[in-house]
Structure 1
Amino acid sequence: MSHVLTAPPIATVPVAGTDPDATFPVHRIYCVGRNYVDHQIEMGGSGREEPFFFMKPADAVLPVREGETGRMHYPSLTSDLHHEVELVVAIGKGGRDIPAESALAHVWGYAVGIDMTRRDLQAEAKKLGRPWCTSKGFDESAPIGAIRPAAECYLNAATVISLDVNNAKRQHSVIGKLIWSVPEIIAKVSAAWTLQPGDLIFTGTPEGVAKVGIGDTLAARIDGVGSLRVQLVER
Protein backbone atom coordinates (compact mmCIF):
# COMPACT_ATOMS: atom_id res chain seq x y z
CA MET A 1 0.00 0.00 0.00
CA SER A 2 1.28 3.46 -0.83
CA HIS A 3 0.03 6.85 0.31
CA VAL A 4 -0.94 9.45 -2.28
CA LEU A 5 0.58 12.10 0.02
CA THR A 6 3.56 12.11 2.33
CA ALA A 7 2.31 10.91 5.71
CA PRO A 8 2.56 13.60 8.41
CA PRO A 9 5.02 12.99 11.24
CA ILE A 10 3.71 11.43 14.46
CA ALA A 11 3.38 13.88 17.33
CA THR A 12 5.74 12.92 20.16
CA VAL A 13 6.67 14.10 23.64
CA PRO A 14 10.13 13.67 25.21
CA VAL A 15 10.57 11.19 28.02
CA ALA A 16 12.39 12.19 31.20
CA GLY A 17 15.58 10.26 31.80
CA THR A 18 19.03 9.63 30.46
CA ASP A 19 18.13 8.74 26.86
CA PRO A 20 17.76 12.05 24.95
CA ASP A 21 16.18 10.27 21.98
CA ALA A 22 13.37 8.54 23.93
CA THR A 23 9.93 9.87 23.01
CA PHE A 24 6.30 9.04 23.73
CA PRO A 25 4.12 8.86 20.56
CA VAL A 26 0.81 10.69 20.97
CA HIS A 27 -2.44 9.07 19.83
CA ARG A 28 -5.21 11.34 21.20
CA ILE A 29 -5.49 14.14 23.75
CA TYR A 30 -8.46 14.06 26.13
CA CYS A 31 -9.12 16.97 28.50
CA VAL A 32 -11.32 17.08 31.60
CA GLY A 33 -13.29 20.27 32.15
CA ARG A 34 -13.77 21.93 35.55
CA ASN A 35 -12.17 19.24 37.70
CA TYR A 36 -11.13 21.42 40.67
CA VAL A 37 -13.86 22.86 42.90
CA ASP A 38 -12.42 26.38 43.12
CA HIS A 39 -11.88 26.56 39.35
CA GLN A 40 -15.48 25.42 38.80
CA ILE A 41 -16.65 28.26 41.00
CA GLU A 42 -14.47 30.90 39.30
CA MET A 43 -15.88 29.76 35.93
CA GLY A 44 -19.46 30.05 37.19
CA GLY A 45 -20.09 26.44 38.22
CA SER A 46 -21.59 25.03 41.39
CA GLY A 47 -18.43 23.39 42.69
CA ARG A 48 -19.12 19.81 41.63
CA GLU A 49 -20.65 18.12 38.60
CA GLU A 50 -20.25 15.01 36.47
CA PRO A 51 -16.99 15.18 34.50
CA PHE A 52 -17.16 16.32 30.91
CA PHE A 53 -14.52 16.03 28.25
CA PHE A 54 -13.21 17.78 25.16
CA MET A 55 -10.34 16.90 22.85
CA LYS A 56 -7.33 18.49 21.24
CA PRO A 57 -5.60 17.20 18.09
CA ALA A 58 -2.52 15.07 18.79
CA ASP A 59 -0.33 17.58 16.98
CA ALA A 60 -1.51 20.40 19.26
CA VAL A 61 1.25 19.31 21.66
CA LEU A 62 4.15 21.69 22.11
CA PRO A 63 6.79 19.37 23.60
CA VAL A 64 9.46 20.93 25.81
CA ARG A 65 12.50 19.01 27.02
CA GLU A 66 13.70 19.13 30.60
CA GLY A 67 15.64 22.28 31.37
CA GLU A 68 14.60 24.04 28.16
CA THR A 69 12.18 26.90 27.49
CA GLY A 70 9.60 26.22 24.80
CA ARG A 71 8.44 28.95 22.43
CA MET A 72 4.70 29.17 21.86
CA HIS A 73 3.49 31.44 19.09
CA TYR A 74 0.68 33.71 20.26
CA PRO A 75 -2.38 32.38 18.39
CA SER A 76 -4.52 34.29 15.94
CA LEU A 77 -8.19 35.23 16.47
CA THR A 78 -7.85 36.04 20.16
CA SER A 79 -7.01 38.90 22.51
CA ASP A 80 -7.71 36.90 25.68
CA LEU A 81 -5.36 33.90 25.88
CA HIS A 82 -5.44 32.04 29.22
CA HIS A 83 -3.17 29.49 30.91
CA GLU A 84 -4.46 26.34 32.68
CA VAL A 85 -1.79 24.19 34.35
CA GLU A 86 -2.67 20.49 34.54
CA LEU A 87 -1.40 17.07 35.55
CA VAL A 88 -1.17 15.00 32.36
CA VAL A 89 -1.63 11.22 32.42
CA ALA A 90 0.14 9.25 29.68
CA ILE A 91 -1.60 5.96 28.86
CA GLY A 92 0.60 2.95 28.17
CA LYS A 93 -1.99 0.18 28.14
CA GLY A 94 -5.31 0.62 26.36
CA GLY A 95 -8.75 -0.65 27.19
CA ARG A 96 -12.45 0.08 27.40
CA ASP A 97 -14.69 0.28 30.48
CA ILE A 98 -11.63 0.18 32.72
CA PRO A 99 -12.58 -0.17 36.41
CA ALA A 100 -11.25 2.64 38.57
CA GLU A 101 -9.65 0.16 40.96
CA SER A 102 -7.34 -1.16 38.21
CA ALA A 103 -6.95 2.05 36.20
CA LEU A 104 -3.45 2.95 37.40
CA ALA A 105 -2.12 -0.22 35.75
CA HIS A 106 -2.88 1.51 32.42
CA VAL A 107 -0.71 4.55 33.19
CA TRP A 108 2.73 4.76 31.58
CA GLY A 109 3.71 8.04 33.17
CA TYR A 110 2.87 11.62 34.10
CA ALA A 111 3.81 15.09 32.89
CA VAL A 112 3.15 18.78 33.46
CA GLY A 113 0.93 20.33 30.80
CA ILE A 114 -0.76 23.65 30.10
CA ASP A 115 -4.17 23.79 28.43
CA MET A 116 -3.96 27.09 26.57
CA THR A 117 -7.37 28.60 25.90
CA ARG A 118 -8.68 31.37 23.67
CA ARG A 119 -11.06 32.50 26.41
CA ASP A 120 -12.90 35.07 24.29
CA LEU A 121 -13.68 32.46 21.63
CA GLN A 122 -14.74 29.98 24.31
CA ALA A 123 -17.10 32.52 25.87
CA GLU A 124 -18.68 33.22 22.49
CA ALA A 125 -19.06 29.49 21.78
CA LYS A 126 -20.71 28.94 25.16
CA LYS A 127 -23.12 31.81 24.54
CA LEU A 128 -24.14 30.37 21.17
CA GLY A 129 -24.16 26.73 22.31
CA ARG A 130 -21.40 25.82 19.84
CA PRO A 131 -18.37 23.49 20.12
CA TRP A 132 -15.15 24.67 21.78
CA CYS A 133 -12.79 23.49 19.02
CA THR A 134 -11.42 26.89 18.01
CA SER A 135 -10.94 27.92 21.64
CA LYS A 136 -9.19 24.75 22.80
CA GLY A 137 -7.78 22.76 19.87
CA PHE A 138 -5.57 25.23 18.04
CA ASP A 139 -1.88 24.86 17.09
CA GLU A 140 0.51 24.60 20.06
CA SER A 141 -2.43 24.74 22.50
CA ALA A 142 -1.04 21.89 24.62
CA PRO A 143 2.47 22.70 25.88
CA ILE A 144 3.81 19.68 27.75
CA GLY A 145 6.98 18.81 29.58
CA ALA A 146 8.85 15.54 29.49
CA ILE A 147 6.81 12.51 30.52
CA ARG A 148 8.21 10.77 33.58
CA PRO A 149 7.56 7.02 34.03
CA ALA A 150 4.92 6.38 36.69
CA ALA A 151 7.31 4.34 38.84
CA GLU A 152 9.57 7.40 39.11
CA CYS A 153 6.78 9.82 40.07
CA TYR A 154 5.62 10.58 43.58
CA LEU A 155 2.01 11.75 43.72
CA ASN A 156 -0.35 12.03 46.67
CA ALA A 157 -3.11 14.34 47.88
CA ALA A 158 -0.57 16.92 49.11
CA THR A 159 1.35 17.10 45.81
CA VAL A 160 1.63 20.75 44.77
CA ILE A 161 0.63 21.91 41.27
CA SER A 162 1.54 25.49 40.37
CA LEU A 163 2.09 28.02 37.60
CA ASP A 164 3.95 31.34 37.69
CA VAL A 165 3.90 34.06 35.04
CA ASN A 166 7.04 36.21 34.91
CA ASN A 167 7.99 34.91 38.37
CA ALA A 168 4.64 35.94 39.89
CA LYS A 169 2.38 33.21 41.30
CA ARG A 170 -0.85 32.66 39.35
CA GLN A 171 -2.03 29.13 40.13
CA HIS A 172 -1.25 27.08 43.24
CA SER A 173 -3.11 24.05 44.56
CA VAL A 174 -2.70 20.37 45.40
CA ILE A 175 -3.62 17.24 43.46
CA GLY A 176 -5.88 16.16 46.32
CA LYS A 177 -8.33 18.89 45.27
CA LEU A 178 -9.18 17.10 42.03
CA ILE A 179 -12.92 16.45 42.07
CA TRP A 180 -12.46 13.27 40.05
CA SER A 181 -9.25 11.36 40.81
CA VAL A 182 -6.92 9.98 38.14
CA PRO A 183 -8.35 6.42 38.40
CA GLU A 184 -11.91 7.79 38.20
CA ILE A 185 -11.02 9.94 35.18
CA ILE A 186 -9.52 6.95 33.36
CA ALA A 187 -12.65 4.94 34.11
CA LYS A 188 -14.91 7.74 32.82
CA VAL A 189 -12.90 8.35 29.63
CA SER A 190 -12.68 4.64 28.83
CA ALA A 191 -16.46 4.34 29.14
CA ALA A 192 -16.86 6.82 26.28
CA TRP A 193 -13.84 5.92 24.12
CA THR A 194 -11.51 2.95 23.84
CA LEU A 195 -8.26 4.18 25.35
CA GLN A 196 -5.13 3.42 23.33
CA PRO A 197 -1.43 3.39 24.18
CA GLY A 198 -0.20 6.89 23.45
CA ASP A 199 -3.30 8.70 24.69
CA LEU A 200 -2.79 11.73 26.93
CA ILE A 201 -5.35 12.91 29.50
CA PHE A 202 -5.20 16.48 30.79
CA THR A 203 -6.88 16.12 34.18
CA GLY A 204 -8.13 19.65 34.86
CA THR A 205 -6.80 22.93 36.24
CA PRO A 206 -7.02 24.62 39.64
CA GLU A 207 -8.20 28.18 40.20
CA GLY A 208 -6.18 31.20 39.12
CA VAL A 209 -6.45 30.97 35.32
CA ALA A 210 -5.73 34.35 33.75
CA LYS A 211 -4.68 36.25 30.66
CA VAL A 212 -1.15 36.16 29.21
CA GLY A 213 0.48 38.01 26.33
CA ILE A 214 3.47 38.11 24.04
CA GLY A 215 6.74 38.13 25.98
CA ASP A 216 5.29 36.43 29.07
CA THR A 217 7.11 33.40 30.46
CA LEU A 218 5.03 30.64 32.04
CA ALA A 219 6.71 28.32 34.54
CA ALA A 220 4.61 25.33 35.61
CA ARG A 221 5.53 22.65 38.11
CA ILE A 222 4.10 19.53 39.74
CA ASP A 223 6.18 18.23 42.63
CA GLY A 224 7.34 14.67 42.07
CA VAL A 225 6.59 14.87 38.32
CA GLY A 226 8.52 17.69 36.72
CA SER A 227 8.39 21.22 35.38
CA LEU A 228 7.56 23.09 32.18
CA ARG A 229 8.70 26.50 30.98
CA VAL A 230 7.19 28.28 27.97
CA GLN A 231 7.56 31.78 26.55
CA LEU A 232 4.93 33.41 24.36
CA VAL A 233 6.35 34.88 21.15
CA GLU A 234 4.98 36.64 18.10
CA ARG A 235 3.76 34.47 15.27
Structure 2
Amino acid sequence: MKTIYIPKGETVSYETLATEHLVVKGCLQVTGSVKAKTISGDGVICAGSVEADIIRIGSLEAAAVICKRLIAECVQAPEVFASESAAVSCFLSAAYVETGRLTVAISEISEVKADEVINLTLKKRGLFTTLLLSALRSVWLTLTVPKSKNEVMDAEYAPAQEPSESKARQAAKEASPSSAAPEKKRKTPLNQSEREPVDEELNRIVGTFMLLRDQGYTLRVIPKTPEENAPVFDFETETIIRPAA
Protein backbone atom coordinates (compact mmCIF):
# COMPACT_ATOMS: atom_id res chain seq x y z
CA MET A 1 0.00 0.00 0.00
CA LYS A 2 1.29 3.43 -0.96
CA THR A 3 1.47 6.01 1.83
CA ILE A 4 2.48 9.67 1.58
CA TYR A 5 3.61 11.38 4.77
CA ILE A 6 3.92 15.16 5.25
CA PRO A 7 6.04 15.84 8.35
CA LYS A 8 5.25 18.58 10.82
CA GLY A 9 6.66 22.01 10.02
CA GLU A 10 6.97 21.36 6.27
CA THR A 11 4.86 22.62 3.36
CA VAL A 12 4.52 20.36 0.31
CA SER A 13 2.84 21.37 -2.97
CA TYR A 14 1.39 19.18 -5.72
CA GLU A 15 -0.67 19.78 -8.83
CA THR A 16 -2.69 16.60 -8.24
CA LEU A 17 -2.29 13.83 -5.69
CA ALA A 18 -3.57 10.24 -5.72
CA THR A 19 -2.54 7.68 -3.11
CA GLU A 20 -3.95 4.99 -0.84
CA HIS A 21 -3.06 6.54 2.52
CA LEU A 22 -2.23 10.16 3.21
CA VAL A 23 -0.85 11.37 6.54
CA VAL A 24 -0.53 15.12 6.95
CA LYS A 25 1.23 16.57 9.96
CA GLY A 26 2.42 19.74 8.24
CA CYS A 27 0.81 21.64 5.36
CA LEU A 28 -0.29 20.15 2.05
CA GLN A 29 -1.19 22.40 -0.89
CA VAL A 30 -2.69 20.82 -4.00
CA THR A 31 -3.87 22.82 -7.02
CA GLY A 32 -6.15 20.13 -8.35
CA SER A 33 -7.73 17.13 -6.64
CA VAL A 34 -6.63 14.86 -3.79
CA LYS A 35 -7.78 11.24 -3.95
CA ALA A 36 -7.04 8.65 -1.27
CA LYS A 37 -8.64 5.87 0.71
CA THR A 38 -7.78 7.39 4.08
CA ILE A 39 -6.57 10.84 5.07
CA SER A 40 -5.34 11.42 8.62
CA GLY A 41 -3.20 13.75 10.67
CA ASP A 42 -3.50 17.04 12.55
CA GLY A 43 -2.09 19.21 9.76
CA VAL A 44 -3.62 21.49 7.14
CA ILE A 45 -4.84 20.55 3.66
CA CYS A 46 -5.64 23.16 0.99
CA ALA A 47 -6.83 21.62 -2.26
CA GLY A 48 -9.20 22.04 -5.15
CA SER A 49 -11.20 18.94 -4.19
CA VAL A 50 -10.71 16.13 -1.69
CA GLU A 51 -12.10 12.60 -2.16
CA ALA A 52 -11.55 9.81 0.37
CA ASP A 53 -13.38 7.12 2.29
CA ILE A 54 -12.34 8.38 5.72
CA ILE A 55 -10.99 11.87 6.44
CA ARG A 56 -9.59 12.68 9.87
CA ILE A 57 -7.67 15.95 9.67
CA GLY A 58 -6.97 19.06 11.69
CA SER A 59 -7.93 21.71 9.12
CA LEU A 60 -9.39 21.20 5.67
CA GLU A 61 -9.98 23.84 3.01
CA ALA A 62 -11.24 22.81 -0.42
CA ALA A 63 -13.77 23.62 -3.10
CA ALA A 64 -15.50 20.27 -2.59
CA VAL A 65 -15.17 17.49 -0.02
CA ILE A 66 -16.51 14.00 -0.86
CA CYS A 67 -16.16 11.16 1.65
CA LYS A 68 -17.97 8.57 3.78
CA ARG A 69 -16.90 9.86 7.20
CA LEU A 70 -15.44 13.27 7.99
CA ILE A 71 -13.80 14.17 11.29
CA ALA A 72 -12.01 17.52 11.54
CA GLU A 73 -11.44 20.53 13.75
CA CYS A 74 -12.01 23.15 11.06
CA VAL A 75 -13.57 22.70 7.61
CA GLN A 76 -14.05 25.41 5.00
CA ALA A 77 -15.60 24.26 1.74
CA PRO A 78 -18.48 25.43 -0.45
CA GLU A 79 -19.77 21.81 -0.76
CA VAL A 80 -19.39 18.97 1.71
CA PHE A 81 -20.72 15.47 0.94
CA ALA A 82 -20.30 12.86 3.69
CA SER A 83 -22.50 9.84 3.07
CA GLU A 84 -22.34 8.45 6.64
CA SER A 85 -21.37 11.22 9.07
CA ALA A 86 -19.55 14.52 9.45
CA ALA A 87 -18.19 15.84 12.75
CA VAL A 88 -16.49 19.22 13.05
CA SER A 89 -15.42 20.17 16.56
CA CYS A 90 -14.38 23.78 16.01
CA PHE A 91 -15.76 25.58 12.97
CA LEU A 92 -17.61 24.52 9.81
CA SER A 93 -18.23 26.95 6.95
CA ALA A 94 -20.01 25.71 3.84
CA ALA A 95 -22.69 26.67 1.37
CA TYR A 96 -24.15 23.15 1.13
CA VAL A 97 -23.73 20.15 3.42
CA GLU A 98 -25.22 16.71 2.73
CA THR A 99 -24.63 13.92 5.22
CA GLY A 100 -26.37 11.26 7.28
CA ARG A 101 -25.47 12.74 10.68
CA LEU A 102 -23.96 16.16 11.24
CA THR A 103 -22.18 17.03 14.47
CA VAL A 104 -20.93 20.58 14.71
CA ALA A 105 -20.04 23.25 17.28
CA ILE A 106 -19.81 26.60 15.44
CA SER A 107 -21.05 26.67 11.87
CA GLU A 108 -22.00 28.96 9.01
CA ILE A 109 -24.00 26.86 6.57
CA SER A 110 -26.41 28.08 3.91
CA GLU A 111 -28.18 24.75 3.28
CA VAL A 112 -28.07 21.47 5.21
CA LYS A 113 -29.46 18.11 4.11
CA ALA A 114 -28.98 15.65 6.97
CA ASP A 115 -30.97 12.97 8.77
CA GLU A 116 -29.69 14.14 12.16
CA VAL A 117 -28.01 17.35 13.32
CA ILE A 118 -26.21 17.54 16.68
CA ASN A 119 -25.01 20.89 18.01
CA LEU A 120 -22.13 20.60 20.45
CA THR A 121 -22.10 22.66 23.63
CA LEU A 122 -19.85 25.66 23.29
CA LYS A 123 -16.87 25.73 25.56
CA LYS A 124 -15.81 28.88 27.33
CA ARG A 125 -13.10 30.43 25.23
CA GLY A 126 -10.70 33.20 26.04
CA LEU A 127 -10.60 36.56 24.31
CA PHE A 128 -7.70 35.57 22.05
CA THR A 129 -9.48 32.43 20.81
CA THR A 130 -12.68 34.36 20.15
CA LEU A 131 -10.84 37.02 18.15
CA LEU A 132 -9.00 34.35 16.18
CA LEU A 133 -12.22 32.56 15.23
CA SER A 134 -13.82 35.85 14.24
CA ALA A 135 -10.86 36.67 12.01
CA LEU A 136 -11.07 33.23 10.37
CA ARG A 137 -14.75 33.76 9.61
CA SER A 138 -14.13 37.17 8.09
CA VAL A 139 -11.31 35.89 5.88
CA TRP A 140 -13.36 32.92 4.72
CA LEU A 141 -16.37 35.05 3.88
CA THR A 142 -14.29 37.49 1.83
CA LEU A 143 -12.81 34.59 -0.14
CA THR A 144 -15.99 32.63 -0.79
CA VAL A 145 -18.92 35.03 -0.89
CA PRO A 146 -19.16 36.67 -4.35
CA LYS A 147 -19.33 40.44 -4.35
CA SER A 148 -22.65 41.76 -5.63
CA LYS A 149 -22.45 44.46 -8.26
CA ASN A 150 -24.73 47.43 -7.76
CA GLU A 151 -26.98 47.81 -10.80
CA VAL A 152 -29.58 50.42 -11.60
CA MET A 153 -33.01 48.81 -11.61
CA ASP A 154 -35.79 49.83 -14.03
CA ALA A 155 -33.70 52.54 -15.66
CA GLU A 156 -31.77 52.98 -18.87
CA TYR A 157 -28.13 53.56 -18.32
CA ALA A 158 -24.78 53.04 -20.00
CA PRO A 159 -21.75 51.81 -18.06
CA ALA A 160 -19.01 54.39 -17.69
CA GLN A 161 -15.84 53.77 -19.63
CA GLU A 162 -12.42 54.55 -18.34
CA PRO A 163 -11.03 57.64 -20.08
CA SER A 164 -7.80 57.29 -21.99
CA GLU A 165 -4.64 59.05 -20.89
CA SER A 166 -4.88 61.72 -23.59
CA LYS A 167 -8.49 62.52 -22.70
CA ALA A 168 -7.64 62.61 -19.02
CA ARG A 169 -4.78 65.04 -19.60
CA GLN A 170 -6.95 67.25 -21.80
CA ALA A 171 -9.69 67.31 -19.17
CA ALA A 172 -7.17 68.19 -16.49
CA LYS A 173 -5.85 71.09 -18.58
CA GLU A 174 -9.34 72.41 -19.23
CA ALA A 175 -10.25 72.14 -15.56
CA SER A 176 -7.18 74.03 -14.29
CA PRO A 177 -7.87 77.83 -14.12
CA SER A 178 -4.21 78.76 -14.62
CA SER A 179 -4.12 77.25 -18.09
CA ALA A 180 -7.60 78.41 -19.06
CA ALA A 181 -6.93 82.13 -18.51
CA PRO A 182 -3.96 82.51 -20.93
CA GLU A 183 -5.80 80.44 -23.52
CA LYS A 184 -8.76 82.83 -23.36
CA LYS A 185 -6.42 85.82 -23.68
CA ARG A 186 -4.80 84.36 -26.75
CA LYS A 187 -8.08 83.59 -28.43
CA THR A 188 -9.57 87.08 -28.00
CA PRO A 189 -7.08 88.99 -30.23
CA LEU A 190 -7.32 86.30 -32.87
CA ASN A 191 -11.09 86.54 -33.00
CA GLN A 192 -10.99 90.35 -33.26
CA SER A 193 -8.44 90.24 -36.05
CA GLU A 194 -10.52 87.68 -37.93
CA ARG A 195 -13.72 89.70 -37.59
CA GLU A 196 -12.18 93.15 -38.32
CA PRO A 197 -9.33 92.89 -40.85
CA VAL A 198 -7.12 95.97 -40.98
CA ASP A 199 -6.64 97.63 -44.40
CA GLU A 200 -3.31 99.47 -44.18
CA GLU A 201 -3.68 101.04 -47.61
CA LEU A 202 -7.08 102.52 -46.75
CA ASN A 203 -5.74 103.94 -43.50
CA ARG A 204 -2.86 105.57 -45.36
CA ILE A 205 -5.22 107.17 -47.89
CA VAL A 206 -7.59 108.42 -45.19
CA GLY A 207 -4.71 109.87 -43.19
CA THR A 208 -3.34 111.64 -46.25
CA PHE A 209 -6.78 113.03 -47.10
CA MET A 210 -7.23 114.43 -43.60
CA LEU A 211 -3.84 116.17 -43.70
CA LEU A 212 -4.52 117.71 -47.11
CA ARG A 213 -7.97 118.86 -46.06
CA ASP A 214 -6.48 120.85 -43.18
CA GLN A 215 -4.15 122.63 -45.65
CA GLY A 216 -7.04 123.57 -47.93
CA TYR A 217 -6.46 120.98 -50.61
CA THR A 218 -8.96 118.68 -52.25
CA LEU A 219 -8.12 115.07 -53.05
CA ARG A 220 -8.84 113.90 -56.59
CA VAL A 221 -8.47 110.27 -57.55
CA ILE A 222 -7.30 109.77 -61.15
CA PRO A 223 -8.02 106.28 -62.55
CA LYS A 224 -4.99 104.25 -63.59
CA THR A 225 -2.56 106.83 -62.20
CA PRO A 226 0.90 105.29 -61.68
CA GLU A 227 2.13 105.15 -58.11
CA GLU A 228 5.19 107.23 -58.99
CA ASN A 229 2.96 110.14 -60.00
CA ALA A 230 1.22 110.25 -56.60
CA PRO A 231 1.85 113.32 -54.45
CA VAL A 232 4.64 113.25 -51.86
CA PHE A 233 3.76 114.59 -48.39
CA ASP A 234 6.26 115.52 -45.69
CA PHE A 235 4.68 114.56 -42.36
CA GLU A 236 7.25 116.38 -40.21
CA THR A 237 6.74 119.77 -41.82
CA GLU A 238 3.20 118.94 -42.93
CA THR A 239 3.91 120.22 -46.47
CA ILE A 240 3.58 118.71 -49.93
CA ILE A 241 6.96 118.17 -51.50
CA ARG A 242 5.64 117.07 -54.89
CA PRO A 243 2.10 117.64 -56.15
CA ALA A 244 0.17 114.98 -58.05
CA ALA A 245 0.68 114.74 -61.82
Determine if the TM-score, normalized by the shorter chain, exceeds 0.5.
no
Query: Given the two structures, how large is their TM-score scaled by the length of structure 1?
Result: 0.19
Flag the structure with larger Rg: 2
Q: Using CA pairs below 8 Å that are at least 6 residues apart, which structure has the higher relative contact order?
A: 1
Query: Given the two structures, how large is their TM-score scaled by the length of structure 2?
Result: 0.19
Bigger proportion of residues as strand: 2
Bigger proportion of residues as helix: 2
